[in-house]
Structure formats: structure tokens, C-alpha cells
Amino acid sequence: MNDYLGKYCEVYFNLHKRLFSVRRKGLVVAHARNVKVVDPKFVVQPAGRARVLREKKKNVHAFVRGEWLDLSEGRAVTEGTKFGGYASYNPYKADTFMAEDLPIHKADAVLCLASNWLDSKPRVQCYIKEVA
């Protein structure tokens, strides 16, 4: 797992495991309850979304792509940033990730947090740099 920290990975919520999956070069390299990502881009693959809409069956086609950091690492993901809302994605409502009812394509950092409760949804907290 540590071999992939600090590398660009793709993170998505795994509905079956109720954890976040971390993928690198197409292969899942880890599962984690919480994931810290810097310089994230919110990616939705149009063909995957079209398949969901056509088949009414979920598939992995949306994820956060960025540098995966260890949560215990001294470099704070939120240092010098402010909370920018929660990002979410629903293929039936929009073709992008949304935060506060607005499209979001990137942030300075995100914390992906899976709940301990089966009926709670995972959260993707977005952080943006503070402007002086």
C-alpha cells in the first residue's frame, strides 16, 4: 500500500465493501475508510454514465483523481485552505460532480470519508486555498 502513497491515483466509493477503493493504472491497490487527496480532479467518464442511464445499473465511471496522501502524514491536507463544501455525484441528476448545487471539477484537496454506519452516505469534503 505504501508504495502508492504520493502517487496519482483514482479514488471511488465501493458500494459492495462500503469503503473507498484506490486505483492506480487500472488496478485497485487499496481499500480505505478515509482517503486524503491533494490536487484532486473530479472525473466522470461520459460513456460509463451513458451506460448507467441506459441499463439502470451502476458501474465505476466517476472518481477523484489526484495525489494520494497518508492520513497520518505530517503534511496537513487542509493547511492554508478553507472548507468548500461536500462534493457528490449522481448520474441521474448531473453529468458532473456537484458541490452546493454547483458543478465542481477540481479542488486543492479533498478528504474522502466513509461512515461507520451502513445507512450513512460517504462524504467527500472539498478544500480550496484561502485567498488573502
Over the stretch 85-110, which tens digit does the pLDDT of each residue have? 899 999 999 999 999 899 999 999 99
Identify which has the larger pLDDT, 71 or 85: 85
Evaluate whether 8 touches 104 at the Cβ level (below 8 Å). no
pLDDT per residue as tens digits for the range 30-39: 999 999 999 9
pLDDT of residue 77: 58
Nearest to 112 by CA among 97, 102, 94: 97
Cα–Cα distance for residue pair 56/13, rounded to 1 Å: 18
CA 54/CA 50 separation, integer angstroms: 6
Q: What is the pLDDT of residue 74?
A: 45
Q: What is the mean pLDDT of residues 13-32?
A: 93
How many Å apart are CA 82 and CA 75, to the nearest integer?
Answer: 16
The pLDDT of residue 76 is 60
> What pLDDT, on the 0 to 100 scale, is given for residue 70?
73
**pTM of the entire predicted model:** 0.88
Tell me what the mean pLDDT of segment 117-132 comes to.
80
**22: Cβ contacts below 8 Å, ≥ 6 apart:** 4, 9, 10, 11, 28, 29, 30, 31, 32, 35, 68
